Structure 1
Protein backbone atom coordinates (compact mmCIF):
# COMPACT_ATOMS: atom_id res chain seq x y z
CA UNK A 1 0.00 0.00 0.00
CA UNK A 2 1.40 3.39 -0.97
CA UNK A 3 1.94 5.92 1.79
CA UNK A 4 0.09 9.21 1.57
CA UNK A 5 2.33 12.25 1.85
CA UNK A 6 0.62 15.30 3.42
CA UNK A 7 -0.17 17.91 0.80
CA UNK A 8 1.26 21.41 1.24
CA UNK A 9 0.57 24.48 -0.89
CA UNK A 10 3.65 26.17 -2.36
CA UNK A 11 7.21 25.59 -1.18
CA UNK A 12 7.09 24.45 2.43
CA UNK A 13 9.32 25.86 5.11
CA UNK A 14 11.92 23.50 6.51
CA UNK A 15 9.83 23.12 9.66
CA UNK A 16 6.75 22.21 7.60
CA UNK A 17 8.76 19.79 5.48
CA UNK A 18 10.09 17.93 8.52
CA UNK A 19 6.61 17.84 10.04
CA UNK A 20 5.30 16.28 6.83
CA UNK A 21 7.99 13.57 6.87
CA UNK A 22 7.44 12.84 10.55
CA UNK A 23 3.68 12.54 10.02
CA UNK A 24 4.28 10.03 7.22
CA UNK A 25 6.70 8.07 9.39
CA UNK A 26 4.26 7.86 12.28
CA UNK A 27 1.56 6.61 9.92
CA UNK A 28 3.49 4.26 7.67
CA UNK A 29 6.61 3.02 9.49
CA UNK A 30 4.95 0.27 11.51
CA UNK A 31 8.23 -1.05 12.88
CA UNK A 32 10.76 1.74 12.42
CA UNK A 33 8.62 4.40 14.11
CA UNK A 34 9.16 2.69 17.48
CA UNK A 35 12.86 3.43 17.21
CA UNK A 36 12.71 6.80 15.48
CA UNK A 37 10.61 8.29 18.26
CA UNK A 38 13.48 7.63 20.72
CA UNK A 39 15.79 10.10 18.94
CA UNK A 40 16.26 13.78 19.85
CA UNK A 41 14.27 16.15 17.59
CA UNK A 42 17.03 17.00 15.10
CA UNK A 43 17.95 13.37 14.43
CA UNK A 44 14.30 12.29 14.49
CA UNK A 45 13.46 14.78 11.75
CA UNK A 46 16.47 13.82 9.64
CA UNK A 47 15.79 10.09 9.90
CA UNK A 48 12.12 10.69 9.09
CA UNK A 49 13.22 12.46 5.89
CA UNK A 50 15.43 9.47 5.00
CA UNK A 51 12.54 7.12 5.69
CA UNK A 52 10.13 9.21 3.61
CA UNK A 53 12.27 9.05 0.48
CA UNK A 54 13.07 5.38 1.05
CA UNK A 55 9.37 4.68 1.36
CA UNK A 56 8.68 6.57 -1.84
CA UNK A 57 11.18 4.41 -3.70
CA UNK A 58 9.62 1.29 -2.21
CA UNK A 59 6.14 2.44 -3.25
CA UNK A 60 7.34 2.98 -6.82
CA UNK A 61 8.61 -0.59 -6.98
CA UNK A 62 5.53 -2.11 -5.37
CA UNK A 63 2.94 0.06 -7.10
CA UNK A 64 0.54 -0.76 -9.94
CA UNK A 65 2.05 1.50 -12.59
CA UNK A 66 3.41 0.02 -15.84
CA UNK A 67 7.09 -0.85 -15.63
CA UNK A 68 8.08 2.00 -17.92
CA UNK A 69 6.46 4.52 -15.56
CA UNK A 70 8.10 2.89 -12.55
CA UNK A 71 11.52 3.20 -14.21
CA UNK A 72 10.78 6.82 -15.03
CA UNK A 73 9.84 7.43 -11.40
CA UNK A 74 13.11 5.91 -10.21
CA UNK A 75 15.04 8.06 -12.69
CA UNK A 76 13.26 11.14 -11.33
CA UNK A 77 14.28 10.30 -7.77
CA UNK A 78 17.89 9.77 -8.84
CA UNK A 79 17.89 13.17 -10.57
CA UNK A 80 16.38 14.90 -7.53
CA UNK A 81 18.96 13.34 -5.20
CA UNK A 82 21.86 14.25 -7.50
CA UNK A 83 20.60 17.85 -7.60
CA UNK A 84 19.71 18.06 -3.93
CA UNK A 85 22.23 20.78 -3.08
CA UNK A 86 20.68 23.14 -5.62
CA UNK A 87 17.17 21.74 -5.33
CA UNK A 88 14.32 24.26 -5.44
CA UNK A 89 11.68 21.55 -5.20
CA UNK A 90 8.41 22.25 -3.44
CA UNK A 91 8.26 18.60 -2.39
CA UNK A 92 8.53 18.45 1.41
CA UNK A 93 10.60 15.26 1.28
CA UNK A 94 13.37 16.89 -0.74
CA UNK A 95 13.18 20.13 1.26
CA UNK A 96 13.63 18.19 4.51
CA UNK A 97 16.29 15.88 3.09
CA UNK A 98 18.33 18.79 1.72
CA UNK A 99 18.34 20.41 5.15
CA UNK A 100 19.19 17.10 6.85
CA UNK A 101 22.13 16.59 4.45
CA UNK A 102 23.47 20.01 5.45
CA UNK A 103 23.29 19.08 9.13
CA UNK A 104 24.51 15.48 8.98
CA UNK A 105 27.02 13.53 6.83
CA UNK A 106 24.32 11.51 5.09
CA UNK A 107 25.77 9.39 2.24
CA UNK A 108 23.23 10.48 -0.36
CA UNK A 109 24.74 8.15 -2.97
CA UNK A 110 23.12 5.32 -1.00
CA UNK A 111 19.74 6.49 -2.33
CA UNK A 112 21.03 5.84 -5.85
CA UNK A 113 21.97 2.31 -4.82
CA UNK A 114 18.55 1.89 -3.22
CA UNK A 115 16.91 2.98 -6.47
CA UNK A 116 19.05 0.39 -8.28
CA UNK A 117 17.74 -2.29 -5.92
CA UNK A 118 14.15 -1.25 -6.53
CA UNK A 119 14.82 -1.28 -10.28
CA UNK A 120 15.91 -4.90 -10.00
CA UNK A 121 12.48 -5.63 -8.51
CA UNK A 122 10.82 -3.90 -11.45
CA UNK A 123 12.79 -6.13 -13.81
CA UNK A 124 11.78 -9.22 -11.80
CA UNK A 125 15.33 -10.24 -10.94
CA UNK A 126 15.88 -13.57 -9.21
CA UNK A 127 18.92 -14.84 -7.29
CA UNK A 128 20.84 -18.03 -7.94
CA UNK A 129 23.00 -18.10 -4.81
CA UNK A 130 22.92 -16.68 -1.31
CA UNK A 131 25.72 -14.27 -2.22
CA UNK A 132 23.55 -13.01 -5.09
CA UNK A 133 20.69 -12.41 -2.66
CA UNK A 134 23.02 -10.62 -0.23
CA UNK A 135 23.99 -8.28 -3.06
CA UNK A 136 20.33 -7.36 -3.44
CA UNK A 137 19.94 -6.99 0.33
CA UNK A 138 22.86 -4.56 0.42
CA UNK A 139 21.15 -2.40 -2.19
CA UNK A 140 17.71 -2.22 -0.58
CA UNK A 141 18.60 -2.46 3.14
CA UNK A 142 22.33 -2.10 3.70
CA UNK A 143 21.87 1.33 2.18
CA UNK A 144 19.32 2.19 4.88
CA UNK A 145 21.83 1.16 7.52
CA UNK A 146 24.47 3.47 6.07
CA UNK A 147 22.02 6.34 5.60
CA UNK A 148 20.91 5.98 9.22
CA UNK A 149 24.51 5.84 10.42
CA UNK A 150 25.13 9.23 8.82
CA UNK A 151 22.52 10.64 11.19
CA UNK A 152 23.41 8.57 14.25
CA UNK A 153 27.14 9.32 14.09
CA UNK A 154 29.64 7.25 16.08
CA UNK A 155 30.93 7.70 19.61
CA UNK A 156 34.31 6.10 18.95
CA UNK A 157 36.45 7.84 16.36
CA UNK A 158 38.58 4.72 15.90
CA UNK A 159 35.50 2.84 14.77
CA UNK A 160 34.36 5.29 12.10
CA UNK A 161 36.12 3.33 9.36
CA UNK A 162 34.40 0.05 10.26
CA UNK A 163 30.98 1.42 11.21
CA UNK A 164 29.50 1.63 7.66
CA UNK A 165 30.26 -2.05 7.05
CA UNK A 166 28.65 -3.00 10.37
CA UNK A 167 25.59 -0.86 9.60
CA UNK A 168 25.41 -2.49 6.18
CA UNK A 169 25.50 -5.97 7.78
CA UNK A 170 22.65 -5.04 10.11
CA UNK A 171 20.59 -3.86 7.15
CA UNK A 172 21.27 -7.16 5.38
CA UNK A 173 20.10 -9.03 8.48
CA UNK A 174 16.81 -7.10 8.57
CA UNK A 175 16.22 -7.69 4.88
CA UNK A 176 16.73 -11.43 5.25
CA UNK A 177 13.96 -11.38 7.86
CA UNK A 178 11.76 -9.38 5.48
CA UNK A 179 12.30 -11.96 2.76
CA UNK A 180 11.49 -14.88 5.05
CA UNK A 181 8.43 -13.16 6.51
CA UNK A 182 7.08 -12.19 3.09
CA UNK A 183 7.92 -15.32 1.09
CA UNK A 184 4.25 -16.22 0.56
CA UNK A 185 3.15 -12.66 -0.24
CA UNK A 186 6.06 -12.21 -2.65
CA UNK A 187 5.31 -15.48 -4.42
CA UNK A 188 1.68 -14.43 -4.90
CA UNK A 189 3.04 -11.22 -6.44
CA UNK A 190 5.30 -13.15 -8.81
CA UNK A 191 8.56 -12.56 -6.94
CA UNK A 192 11.02 -15.02 -5.43
CA UNK A 193 14.01 -13.66 -3.53
CA UNK A 194 15.23 -16.87 -1.92
CA UNK A 195 18.30 -18.36 -3.66
CA UNK A 196 17.28 -20.85 -6.35
CA UNK A 197 20.24 -23.13 -5.72
CA UNK A 198 19.48 -23.42 -2.01
CA UNK A 199 15.81 -24.16 -2.64
CA UNK A 200 16.86 -26.93 -5.01
CA UNK A 201 19.33 -28.36 -2.49
CA UNK A 202 16.59 -28.49 0.16
CA UNK A 203 14.10 -30.02 -2.27
CA UNK A 204 11.81 -26.96 -2.17
CA UNK A 205 9.62 -25.93 -5.09
CA UNK A 206 7.62 -22.96 -3.84
CA UNK A 207 3.88 -23.23 -4.45
CA UNK A 208 0.64 -21.78 -3.10
CA UNK A 209 -2.30 -24.19 -2.92
CA UNK A 210 -5.96 -23.44 -3.60
CA UNK A 211 -6.50 -22.30 0.00
CA UNK A 212 -3.62 -19.81 -0.26
CA UNK A 213 -1.21 -21.82 1.91
CA UNK A 214 2.46 -21.81 1.03
CA UNK A 215 4.11 -25.14 0.46
CA UNK A 216 6.56 -26.95 -1.75
CA UNK A 217 6.62 -29.57 -0.06
CA UNK A 218 5.88 -28.30 3.42
CA UNK A 219 8.32 -30.42 5.42
CA UNK A 220 11.23 -29.42 3.19
CA UNK A 221 10.14 -25.79 3.21
CA UNK A 222 9.92 -25.63 7.01
CA UNK A 223 13.41 -27.08 7.28
CA UNK A 224 14.74 -24.47 4.87
CA UNK A 225 13.03 -21.59 6.69
CA UNK A 226 14.59 -22.69 10.00
CA UNK A 227 18.01 -22.87 8.35
CA UNK A 228 17.66 -19.45 6.71
CA UNK A 229 16.38 -17.79 9.88
CA UNK A 230 19.33 -19.15 11.87
CA UNK A 231 21.72 -17.79 9.25
CA UNK A 232 20.00 -14.41 9.45
CA UNK A 233 20.62 -14.43 13.22
CA UNK A 234 24.33 -14.76 12.51
CA UNK A 235 24.06 -11.53 10.53
CA UNK A 236 22.24 -9.87 13.45
CA UNK A 237 25.14 -10.87 15.69
CA UNK A 238 27.51 -9.08 13.33
CA UNK A 239 25.30 -6.05 12.85
CA UNK A 240 24.19 -5.43 16.44
CA UNK A 241 27.82 -4.59 17.28
CA UNK A 242 26.85 -1.21 15.84
CA UNK A 243 25.03 -0.33 19.07
CA UNK A 244 28.34 -0.17 20.92
CA UNK A 245 29.54 2.56 18.54
CA UNK A 246 26.56 4.91 18.99
CA UNK A 247 25.48 7.44 21.58
CA UNK A 248 22.76 6.31 24.00
CA UNK A 249 19.73 7.73 22.14
CA UNK A 250 20.96 6.58 18.72
CA UNK A 251 21.74 3.13 20.11
CA UNK A 252 18.24 2.99 21.60
CA UNK A 253 16.71 3.89 18.24
CA UNK A 254 18.80 1.38 16.31
CA UNK A 255 18.28 -1.30 18.95
CA UNK A 256 14.52 -0.86 18.88
CA UNK A 257 14.26 -1.04 15.09
CA UNK A 258 16.59 -4.02 14.79
CA UNK A 259 15.18 -5.71 17.89
CA UNK A 260 11.66 -5.83 16.45
CA UNK A 261 12.94 -7.60 13.34
CA UNK A 262 15.13 -9.89 15.43
CA UNK A 263 12.04 -11.00 17.37
CA UNK A 264 10.27 -11.65 14.09
CA UNK A 265 13.25 -13.64 12.88
CA UNK A 266 13.33 -15.69 16.07
CA UNK A 267 9.61 -16.41 15.67
CA UNK A 268 10.22 -17.65 12.11
CA UNK A 269 13.08 -19.87 13.30
CA UNK A 270 11.03 -21.38 16.11
CA UNK A 271 7.65 -21.48 14.32
CA UNK A 272 8.31 -21.42 10.55
CA UNK A 273 4.77 -22.60 9.81
CA UNK A 274 3.58 -19.15 10.97
CA UNK A 275 4.54 -17.64 7.61
CA UNK A 276 2.76 -20.21 5.45
CA UNK A 277 -0.72 -18.70 5.63
CA UNK A 278 -0.33 -15.01 6.44
CA UNK A 279 2.13 -12.16 6.84
CA UNK A 280 3.74 -12.44 10.26
CA UNK A 281 3.77 -9.36 12.51
CA UNK A 282 4.46 -8.62 16.16
CA UNK A 283 1.66 -7.17 18.29
CA UNK A 284 2.07 -3.52 19.27
CA UNK A 285 2.75 -4.37 22.91
CA UNK A 286 5.77 -6.49 21.95
CA UNK A 287 7.16 -3.67 19.81
CA UNK A 288 6.73 -1.29 22.74
CA UNK A 289 8.56 -3.72 25.02
CA UNK A 290 11.49 -3.92 22.58
CA UNK A 291 11.65 -0.11 22.39
CA UNK A 292 11.52 0.25 26.17
CA UNK A 293 14.26 -2.33 26.63
CA UNK A 294 16.42 -0.53 24.08
CA UNK A 295 15.93 2.82 25.79
CA UNK A 296 16.95 1.19 29.07
CA UNK A 297 20.15 -0.10 27.46
CA UNK A 298 18.98 -3.73 27.29
CA UNK A 299 18.46 -4.39 23.56
CA UNK A 300 17.31 -7.68 22.08
CA UNK A 301 19.99 -10.26 21.28
CA UNK A 302 19.82 -13.45 19.26
CA UNK A 303 20.43 -15.37 22.49
CA UNK A 304 17.34 -13.89 24.15
Structure 2
Protein backbone atom coordinates (compact mmCIF):
# COMPACT_ATOMS: atom_id res chain seq x y z
CA UNK A 1 0.00 0.00 0.00
CA UNK A 2 1.31 3.42 -0.98
CA UNK A 3 2.37 5.47 2.05
CA UNK A 4 1.71 9.18 1.72
CA UNK A 5 4.50 11.44 3.02
CA UNK A 6 3.84 12.91 6.42
CA UNK A 7 3.39 16.70 6.63
CA UNK A 8 6.32 18.58 8.20
CA UNK A 9 6.08 18.72 11.97
CA UNK A 10 6.65 21.97 13.88
CA UNK A 11 9.93 22.07 15.74
CA UNK A 12 8.17 22.95 18.96
CA UNK A 13 4.65 22.96 20.33
CA UNK A 14 3.23 26.47 20.06
CA UNK A 15 0.66 28.10 22.30
CA UNK A 16 -3.04 28.29 21.50
CA UNK A 17 -4.48 31.22 19.56
CA UNK A 18 -5.96 32.78 22.68
CA UNK A 19 -2.67 32.44 24.53
CA UNK A 20 -0.79 33.99 21.61
CA UNK A 21 -3.05 37.05 21.53
CA UNK A 22 -2.79 37.39 25.30
CA UNK A 23 0.99 37.28 25.00
CA UNK A 24 0.86 40.06 22.40
CA UNK A 25 -1.45 42.09 24.62
CA UNK A 26 0.94 41.81 27.56
CA UNK A 27 3.96 42.81 25.47
CA UNK A 28 2.13 45.82 24.01
CA UNK A 29 0.96 46.94 27.44
CA UNK A 30 4.46 46.58 28.92
CA UNK A 31 6.46 48.37 26.26
CA UNK A 32 4.08 50.98 24.83
CA UNK A 33 1.61 52.17 27.44
CA UNK A 34 0.45 55.17 25.41
CA UNK A 35 -0.14 53.12 22.27
CA UNK A 36 -1.82 50.39 24.31
CA UNK A 37 -4.31 52.84 25.78
CA UNK A 38 -5.40 53.82 22.28
CA UNK A 39 -5.90 50.20 21.21
CA UNK A 40 -8.27 49.55 24.11
CA UNK A 41 -10.78 51.84 22.40
CA UNK A 42 -10.91 49.59 19.33
CA UNK A 43 -13.32 46.69 18.74
CA UNK A 44 -11.85 43.47 20.22
CA UNK A 45 -10.96 41.78 16.92
CA UNK A 46 -9.15 44.86 15.59
CA UNK A 47 -7.34 45.60 18.82
CA UNK A 48 -6.00 42.04 18.97
CA UNK A 49 -4.77 42.30 15.39
CA UNK A 50 -3.00 45.57 16.14
CA UNK A 51 -1.30 43.94 19.16
CA UNK A 52 -0.05 41.12 16.94
CA UNK A 53 1.36 43.59 14.41
CA UNK A 54 2.92 45.72 17.14
CA UNK A 55 4.74 42.73 18.61
CA UNK A 56 6.21 41.77 15.23
CA UNK A 57 7.37 45.37 14.76
CA UNK A 58 8.91 45.43 18.22
CA UNK A 59 10.73 42.15 17.66
CA UNK A 60 12.05 43.56 14.40
CA UNK A 61 13.20 46.79 16.07
CA UNK A 62 14.96 44.90 18.87
CA UNK A 63 17.18 43.16 16.34
CA UNK A 64 19.14 46.43 16.09
CA UNK A 65 18.12 48.23 19.30
CA UNK A 66 17.58 45.39 21.77
CA UNK A 67 19.94 43.76 24.29
CA UNK A 68 21.34 41.36 21.66
CA UNK A 69 21.73 44.01 18.95
CA UNK A 70 25.53 43.73 18.94
CA UNK A 71 25.19 40.27 17.44
CA UNK A 72 22.85 41.35 14.61
CA UNK A 73 24.31 41.18 11.12
CA UNK A 74 22.87 41.53 7.60
CA UNK A 75 22.52 37.73 7.64
CA UNK A 76 20.42 38.01 10.82
CA UNK A 77 18.01 40.33 9.02
CA UNK A 78 17.96 38.01 6.01
CA UNK A 79 16.93 35.16 8.30
CA UNK A 80 14.26 37.40 9.82
CA UNK A 81 12.89 38.10 6.35
CA UNK A 82 12.78 34.35 5.71
CA UNK A 83 10.85 34.09 8.98
CA UNK A 84 8.44 36.73 7.68
CA UNK A 85 7.92 34.81 4.44
CA UNK A 86 6.98 31.75 6.49
CA UNK A 87 4.34 33.76 8.34
CA UNK A 88 2.81 34.99 5.10
CA UNK A 89 2.71 31.36 3.98
CA UNK A 90 0.66 30.53 7.06
CA UNK A 91 3.41 28.86 9.09
CA UNK A 92 3.99 30.31 12.58
CA UNK A 93 7.42 29.55 14.04
CA UNK A 94 7.14 31.17 17.48
CA UNK A 95 4.35 31.69 19.99
CA UNK A 96 3.83 35.33 18.99
CA UNK A 97 3.57 34.26 15.36
CA UNK A 98 0.39 32.32 16.05
CA UNK A 99 -1.49 35.58 16.59
CA UNK A 100 0.04 37.30 13.57
CA UNK A 101 -0.77 34.43 11.20
CA UNK A 102 -4.37 34.58 12.40
CA UNK A 103 -4.38 38.35 11.82
CA UNK A 104 -3.08 37.82 8.28
CA UNK A 105 -5.98 35.45 7.66
CA UNK A 106 -8.58 37.92 8.95
CA UNK A 107 -7.32 41.19 7.42
CA UNK A 108 -5.91 42.12 3.97
CA UNK A 109 -2.41 42.99 5.20
CA UNK A 110 0.28 43.12 2.50
CA UNK A 111 3.84 41.92 3.02
CA UNK A 112 5.59 44.94 1.46
CA UNK A 113 5.42 47.23 4.53
CA UNK A 114 6.89 44.44 6.65
CA UNK A 115 9.78 44.04 4.22
CA UNK A 116 10.29 47.80 4.14
CA UNK A 117 10.55 47.83 7.93
CA UNK A 118 13.30 45.22 7.83
CA UNK A 119 15.08 47.44 5.27
CA UNK A 120 14.85 50.25 7.84
CA UNK A 121 16.62 48.10 10.42
CA UNK A 122 19.33 47.41 7.86
CA UNK A 123 19.93 51.17 7.67
CA UNK A 124 20.62 51.19 11.41
CA UNK A 125 23.34 48.58 10.93
CA UNK A 126 25.54 50.87 8.86
CA UNK A 127 24.27 54.42 9.44
CA UNK A 128 24.56 56.60 12.52
CA UNK A 129 24.16 59.96 10.78
CA UNK A 130 21.78 61.54 8.26
CA UNK A 131 22.99 64.46 6.21
CA UNK A 132 19.57 65.72 5.04
CA UNK A 133 15.98 65.46 6.10
CA UNK A 134 15.15 63.61 2.88
CA UNK A 135 17.52 60.85 3.95
CA UNK A 136 15.98 60.78 7.42
CA UNK A 137 12.47 60.78 5.96
CA UNK A 138 13.20 57.52 4.12
CA UNK A 139 14.38 55.98 7.37
CA UNK A 140 11.28 57.23 9.20
CA UNK A 141 9.03 55.77 6.52
CA UNK A 142 10.69 52.39 6.73
CA UNK A 143 10.69 52.02 10.51
CA UNK A 144 7.40 53.80 11.28
CA UNK A 145 5.45 54.91 8.22
CA UNK A 146 5.15 51.22 7.40
CA UNK A 147 3.28 50.72 10.67
CA UNK A 148 0.62 53.10 9.41
CA UNK A 149 0.17 51.01 6.27
CA UNK A 150 -0.01 47.78 8.28
CA UNK A 151 -2.58 49.31 10.61
CA UNK A 152 -4.69 50.70 7.77
CA UNK A 153 -5.50 47.17 6.64
CA UNK A 154 -6.88 46.36 10.09
CA UNK A 155 -8.64 49.64 10.80
CA UNK A 156 -10.38 49.77 7.42
CA UNK A 157 -12.24 52.65 5.80
CA UNK A 158 -15.82 53.81 6.25
CA UNK A 159 -18.13 51.91 3.89
CA UNK A 160 -20.74 54.68 3.77
CA UNK A 161 -18.50 57.50 2.58
CA UNK A 162 -20.34 60.47 1.12
CA UNK A 163 -19.12 60.66 -2.48
CA UNK A 164 -20.18 63.46 -4.87
CA UNK A 165 -21.83 62.35 -8.15
CA UNK A 166 -18.81 63.20 -10.31
CA UNK A 167 -16.67 60.81 -8.27
CA UNK A 168 -19.13 57.91 -8.06
CA UNK A 169 -17.12 55.80 -10.50
CA UNK A 170 -13.84 56.40 -8.70
CA UNK A 171 -12.44 53.87 -6.21
CA UNK A 172 -12.93 54.75 -2.55
CA UNK A 173 -10.18 56.91 -1.11
CA UNK A 174 -7.72 55.03 1.09
CA UNK A 175 -5.62 57.39 3.24
CA UNK A 176 -2.24 55.76 2.66
CA UNK A 177 -0.22 58.98 2.57
CA UNK A 178 -1.87 60.15 5.77
CA UNK A 179 -1.11 56.82 7.45
CA UNK A 180 2.53 57.17 6.43
CA UNK A 181 2.54 60.77 7.69
CA UNK A 182 1.34 59.64 11.11
CA UNK A 183 4.09 57.05 11.28
CA UNK A 184 6.71 59.62 10.29
CA UNK A 185 5.33 62.07 12.88
CA UNK A 186 5.57 59.42 15.58
CA UNK A 187 9.13 58.53 14.61
CA UNK A 188 10.22 62.17 14.54
CA UNK A 189 8.72 62.49 18.02
CA UNK A 190 10.72 59.45 19.16
CA UNK A 191 13.89 60.94 17.70
CA UNK A 192 13.39 64.27 19.48
CA UNK A 193 12.53 62.60 22.79
CA UNK A 194 15.49 60.21 22.60
CA UNK A 195 18.27 62.54 21.44
CA UNK A 196 20.24 61.97 24.65
CA UNK A 197 19.84 58.19 24.66
CA UNK A 198 20.83 57.93 21.00
CA UNK A 199 23.88 60.13 21.59
CA UNK A 200 25.08 57.73 24.27
CA UNK A 201 25.12 55.05 21.57
CA UNK A 202 26.99 57.31 19.16
CA UNK A 203 23.94 58.00 17.01
CA UNK A 204 22.59 61.32 15.77
CA UNK A 205 19.28 61.15 13.94
CA UNK A 206 18.75 64.90 13.65
CA UNK A 207 19.74 65.90 10.10
CA UNK A 208 23.25 67.33 10.09
CA UNK A 209 22.08 70.07 7.72
CA UNK A 210 19.72 71.24 10.47
CA UNK A 211 22.50 71.32 13.04
CA UNK A 212 24.55 73.42 10.64
CA UNK A 213 21.60 75.73 9.99
CA UNK A 214 21.49 76.64 13.68
CA UNK A 215 25.28 76.61 14.14
CA UNK A 216 25.04 73.71 16.59
CA UNK A 217 27.77 71.09 16.32
CA UNK A 218 27.87 67.34 16.83
CA UNK A 219 30.29 67.96 19.70
CA UNK A 220 27.72 70.28 21.32
CA UNK A 221 25.12 67.52 21.06
CA UNK A 222 27.36 64.88 22.61
CA UNK A 223 28.09 67.29 25.47
CA UNK A 224 24.36 67.95 25.95
CA UNK A 225 24.67 71.71 25.44
CA UNK A 226 21.34 73.49 25.93
CA UNK A 227 21.43 77.09 24.77
CA UNK A 228 19.53 79.38 22.40
CA UNK A 229 20.95 77.56 19.37
CA UNK A 230 19.67 74.25 20.68
CA UNK A 231 16.25 75.64 21.59
CA UNK A 232 15.84 77.18 18.13
CA UNK A 233 16.86 73.89 16.53
CA UNK A 234 14.38 71.94 18.63
CA UNK A 235 11.57 74.40 17.90
CA UNK A 236 12.27 73.90 14.20
CA UNK A 237 12.20 70.10 14.49
CA UNK A 238 9.05 70.09 16.67
CA UNK A 239 7.24 72.28 14.14
CA UNK A 240 8.17 69.83 11.38
CA UNK A 241 6.81 66.90 13.40
CA UNK A 242 3.59 68.79 14.14
CA UNK A 243 3.09 69.42 10.44
CA UNK A 244 3.21 65.69 9.82
CA UNK A 245 0.60 65.16 12.55
CA UNK A 246 -1.55 67.79 10.85
CA UNK A 247 -1.14 66.04 7.50
CA UNK A 248 -2.17 62.76 9.12
CA UNK A 249 -5.34 64.23 10.62
CA UNK A 250 -6.92 64.67 7.20
CA UNK A 251 -7.15 60.93 6.68
CA UNK A 252 -8.94 60.04 9.91
CA UNK A 253 -12.38 61.12 8.67
CA UNK A 254 -12.47 58.32 6.08
CA UNK A 255 -11.38 55.57 8.46
CA UNK A 256 -13.86 53.03 9.76
CA UNK A 257 -16.10 54.78 12.26
CA UNK A 258 -15.31 52.30 15.05
CA UNK A 259 -11.61 53.24 14.95
CA UNK A 260 -11.64 57.02 14.58
CA UNK A 261 -11.68 57.64 18.32
CA UNK A 262 -8.67 55.40 19.08
CA UNK A 263 -6.70 56.84 16.16
CA UNK A 264 -7.39 60.40 17.30
CA UNK A 265 -6.47 59.38 20.84
CA UNK A 266 -3.19 57.78 19.79
CA UNK A 267 -2.30 60.80 17.64
CA UNK A 268 -3.02 63.29 20.39
CA UNK A 269 -1.26 61.28 23.09
CA UNK A 270 1.90 60.88 21.04
CA UNK A 271 1.84 64.50 19.93
CA UNK A 272 1.63 65.37 23.61
CA UNK A 273 5.22 64.18 24.01
CA UNK A 274 6.27 67.23 21.98
CA UNK A 275 4.51 69.40 24.56
CA UNK A 276 6.48 67.57 27.23
CA UNK A 277 9.76 68.39 25.50
CA UNK A 278 8.81 72.06 25.47
CA UNK A 279 7.76 71.92 29.12
CA UNK A 280 11.22 70.51 29.94
CA UNK A 281 12.81 73.54 28.22
CA UNK A 282 14.06 71.25 25.44
CA UNK A 283 16.23 69.22 27.82
CA UNK A 284 16.21 65.81 26.16
CA UNK A 285 19.60 64.92 27.60
CA UNK A 286 18.71 64.47 31.27
CA UNK A 287 14.90 64.39 31.15
CA UNK A 288 12.52 62.06 29.30
CA UNK A 289 9.35 63.73 28.03
CA UNK A 290 6.11 61.84 28.55
CA UNK A 291 2.39 62.39 28.99
CA UNK A 292 1.29 61.86 32.58
CA UNK A 293 -1.69 59.55 33.19
CA UNK A 294 -4.07 62.31 34.41
CA UNK A 295 -3.36 64.29 31.25
CA UNK A 296 -3.91 61.16 29.13
CA UNK A 297 -7.40 60.89 30.60
CA UNK A 298 -8.10 64.49 29.63
CA UNK A 299 -7.26 63.72 26.00
CA UNK A 300 -9.92 61.02 25.73
CA UNK A 301 -13.07 63.19 25.59
CA UNK A 302 -11.40 65.67 23.24
CA UNK A 303 -10.38 62.85 20.93
CA UNK A 304 -13.91 61.43 21.08
CA UNK A 305 -15.38 64.80 20.09
CA UNK A 306 -12.97 65.16 17.19
CA UNK A 307 -13.88 61.68 16.01
CA UNK A 308 -17.54 62.73 15.84
CA UNK A 309 -17.25 66.07 14.09
CA UNK A 310 -13.98 66.19 12.08
TM-score bucket (shorter structure): 0.7 to 0.9
CA, structure 1 residues 178+202, in 2 after alignment: closer, same or farther (shift >3 Å)? Answer: same
Give SS of 2:250's match.
helix
**Residue 170, structure 1, aligned to residue 173, structure 2:** no
Deviations 1:94-130 (A, max 9, x none): 2111111111111222111111111211223421111
Q: Does 1:14 align with 2:26?
A: no
The residue number in structure 2 matching 1:41 is 44
Q: Which one of the candidate residues 104, 116, 121 is aligned to 1:118?
A: 121
1:34 and 1:291 in contact (8 A); partners too: no
Q: List runs of 5+ in structure 2 lacking aligned partners.
A: 1-11, 164-169
Which residue of 294, 298, 301 maps to 2:306? 298
Aligned with 1:149 (options 143, 148, 152): 152
Q: Structure 1: how far apart are the matches of 2:246 and 2:69?
A: 40
Which structure has the greater CA radius of gyration?
2
Which residue of the other structure, out of 209, 213, 219, is the alignment partner of 2:228? 219
Deviation string for 1:14-53 (max 9, x for gaps)? 2221111112112221221011111111001100000000
Contact preservation (8 Å) 1:181, 1:279:
yes
Instruction: Give distance in 1, aligned partners of 2:54 and 2:69.
Output: 24
In 2, the alpha carbon distance for the partners of 1:41 and 1:275 equals 36
* TM-score, normalised with respect to structure 1: 0.86
Deviates more, 1:39-48 or 1:98-107: 98-107
Match of 1:6 in 2: none
CA contact 1:24–1:52 (8 Å) conserved in 2: yes
Query: What's the TM-score once normalised by structure 2's chain length?
Result: 0.85
1:189-208 correspondence runs (5 A): 189-207=201-219
Matched with 2:258 is 249
Q: Report the Cα distance in structure 2 between the residues aligned to 1:272 and 1:120, rounded to whole angstroms.
A: 31
CA deviation profile, 1:222-243 (whole Å, cap 9, x unmatched) = 1100011012111111011122
Offset at 1:140?
A: 0.7
For residues 147-196 of structure 1, the C-alpha deviation after alignment (integer angstroms, 9 at most, x for no partner) is 11110001148685441111001111111111111111111111111111
CA distance in structure 1 between the aligned counterparts of 2:218 and 2:55, rounded to whole angstroms = 33
Deviation at 1:136, TM superposition (A): 0.8
Rounded Cα–Cα distance in structure 1 between residues aligned with 2:172 and 2:195: 35
Unaligned ranges ≥5, structure 1: 1-8, 300-304
* Higher mean C-alpha displacement, 61-70 vs 235-244: 61-70
The aligned counterpart of 2:284 is 275
Does structure 2 retain, via aligned residues, the 8 Å contact 1:227–1:269? no
Number of aligned positions between the proteins: 287
C-alpha displacement of 1:73: 3.6
Contact 1:213 1:277 in 2 (8 A): no
SS at structure 1 position matched to 2:249: helix
Tell me the secondary structure at the aligned position of residue 297 of structure 1.
Answer: helix
- Kindly indicate whether the alpha-carbon contact (under 8 Å) linking 1:154 and 1:246 is maintained by their aligned counterparts in 2: yes
